[in-house]
Structure 1
Amino acid sequence: MINIESPANKRIALVAHDNMKREMLEWATEHKDELNRHTLIATGSTGKLIADSTGLKIERMRSGPLGGDQQIGARISEAGIDILLFFWDPLEPQPHDPDIRALLRIAVVWNIPVACNRASADFILSSPLIGATYQRRVPKY
């Protein structure tokens, strides 16, 4: 096992399926002040929606179906993302489901917290660890 340090200023990825974008936007608006303390990365349309509506500074990747999920996964594997907030729609099949599964898999492999809904995102953002450095343990493959 090796340790990877997550900084106090977390790098948070924001991803939402089309049917969940409104919920992600509402959540981000409610937590704008806390999110503003961290570095935000998002898939294209999710990032644009949140940035335009809240004024938060967000680094935008491509849209999910155009490779944005994979870009976020690559960033996770390079220790460039500390938390994944992925509001996915469990009731709607997605044409890029293999990419979604790969993103969730890489988040688990690299031992980063993942929130798939508003409640889990609330728990992560309200954790005392959100503003502290944290040593993640990951397998040495």
Structure 2
Amino acid sequence: MPITLALVAHDRMKPALAGWVARHAAELAPHAIVSTATTGATIRAQSPELPIRAVKSGPLGGDQQIGGMIAEGEVHALIFFPDPLTPQAHDVDVKALLRIALVYDIPAAFSPATADLLVKGGLLNGPAPAPG
């Protein structure tokens, strides 16, 4: 059964996320992908074959939109590559997204290494998790 995966990255990390998606495009293809607008555009440029539903960019509320989708059980996992060395103007929204992922106990990865482990662990092979 397909899952819905949210993909988010801060500006400096967007190329790393787009590269990660390109490496896993075949595994991601059967699943629904939702992404913040700018991250989604970066991913589309490298993996145009993947359908990506875009929400607003992070600073304009996209992080909050994805958080709401997690709370509603519409998003089953989060891959978020934050930039730990650059302050974010919308840091409160970022923290809220991380908090909601923890509250609803969804699988989440914050680096290419942990995202790879989620894939190797079968995240994209099993049924969609029950809402937390």
* TM-score, shorter chain, exceeding 0.5: yes
Cα-to-partner distance string for 1:42-94 (whole Å, 9 max, x where unaligned)? 00000111113211110000000000000000000000000000000111110
Count of aligned positions: 131
Aligned counterpart, 1:41:
34
TM-score, normalised to structure 2, is: 0.94
Query: 2:53 aligned with 1:79, yes or no?
Result: no
Q: Report the Cα distance in structure 2 between the residues aligned to 1:117 and 1:64, rounded to whole angstroms.
A: 18
Amino acid at match of 1:44: A
Unaligned runs of 5+ in 1: 1-7
Match among 51, 58, 71 for residue 57 of structure 1: 51
Match for 1:38: what amino acid? H
Bigger RCO of structures 1 and 2 (CA < 8 A, at least 6 apart): 1
Letter aligned with residue 123 of structure 1 = L
One-letter amino acid of the counterpart of residue 26, structure 2: D
Q: Quote the residue 1:102 is aligned against.
A: 96
TM-score of the pair, normalised by structure 1: 0.88
Q: Which residue of 2 aligns with 1:3?
A: none
Structure 2 counterpart of 1:108, one-letter code = L
Q: 1:27 aligns with which of 20, 45, 49?
A: 20
CA–CA distance in 2 between the matches of 1:101 and 1:81?
Answer: 17
Q: RMSD of the TM alignment (CA)?
A: 1.3
Mark the runs of 5 or more structure 2 residues left unpaired by the alignment.
Answer: none
Identity %: 44
